[in-house]
Amino acid sequence: MPEHTLDELDRAIVHELEEDGRRALREIARNLGSSEATVRARVKRLQDANILRIVAFADPEQLGNTHLSLVFLTVDPVRHADVVAALVEFPEVTYVSTVLGRADLCAEVMTADNAALWSFLNEKVARIEGVRGTETTPILKVHKLRYATPG
């Protein structure tokens, strides 16, 4: 259960920032019929509570010379947290989640090429204690990339 309850104004502010993370707080306030001071205080509270992070996201396809892959990992249940801790430290790993199904974890990995992916899997992932197996799926094309709340 979430610790923090977001009201209608909080959700509207988040929606505005999802559309444009660089949108001025003054503009957000005007769009929502609120004061800039209120919006500023709400954004600060949401950031302090780790509900809201404003970041830049580069499109890997536009960067060139990058290969994205999904690595599905089967792990020893007693080592799950240790495997997660190891994965999130690797610079190649851009995303890690616990999943249901044949795998226990899913990691998105960005490498320069297939040789770098091979090295990553064999020199880093294979050495993590608790990893029982991996299945790697290259991402050929990203058709939609959006981090936004529904609605």
CATH architecture of 60-139: 2-Layer Sandwich (3.30)
Phi and psi angles of residue 90, each rounded to the nearest 5 degrees, phi first: -75, 130
CB atoms within 10 A of CB 22: 7
Is the pLDDT at 2 greater than 70, yes or no?
A: no
Is the pLDDT at 145 greater than 80, yes or no?
A: no
Average pLDDT of 79-87?
A: 98
Select from 1.10.10.10, 2.60.40.1510, 3.40.50.10860, 1.10.760.10 the CATH code of 8-48.
1.10.10.10
Q: How confident is the model at residue 3 (pLDDT cuts 50, 70, 90)?
A: low
Sorted by where each begins, the domain ranges of the chain are 8-48, 60-139
Average pLDDT across the chain, whole number: 91
* Residue of 143 and 22 predicted with greater confidence: 22
Is the pLDDT at 120 greater than 80, yes or no?
A: yes
Q: Supply 100's token pair.
A: 């249901």
61: left (phi over 0), alpha (psi -120 to 50) or beta: alpha
Angle at 79 between CA 108 and CA 116, to 5 degrees: 35
Q: What's the pTM?
A: 0.75
Is residue 150 classed exposed, middle or buried when 0-12, 13-18 and 19+ CB atoms within 10 A define those classes? exposed
pLDDT above 90: percentage of residues in the chain = 74
Q: How far apart are the first and last CA of the chain?
A: 20
Q: What's 79's DSSP letter?
A: G
Average pLDDT of 64-90?
A: 95
Is the pLDDT at 85 greater than 70, yes or no?
A: yes
Pairing of strands 105-111, 93-98: antiparallel
Nearest to 116 by CA among 68, 77, 82: 68
33: left (phi over 0), alpha (psi -120 to 50) or beta: left
Q: Supply 131's token pair.
A: 């990893």
* Residue of 64 and 118 predicted with greater confidence: 118
Contact 131, 123 (CB under 8 A): no
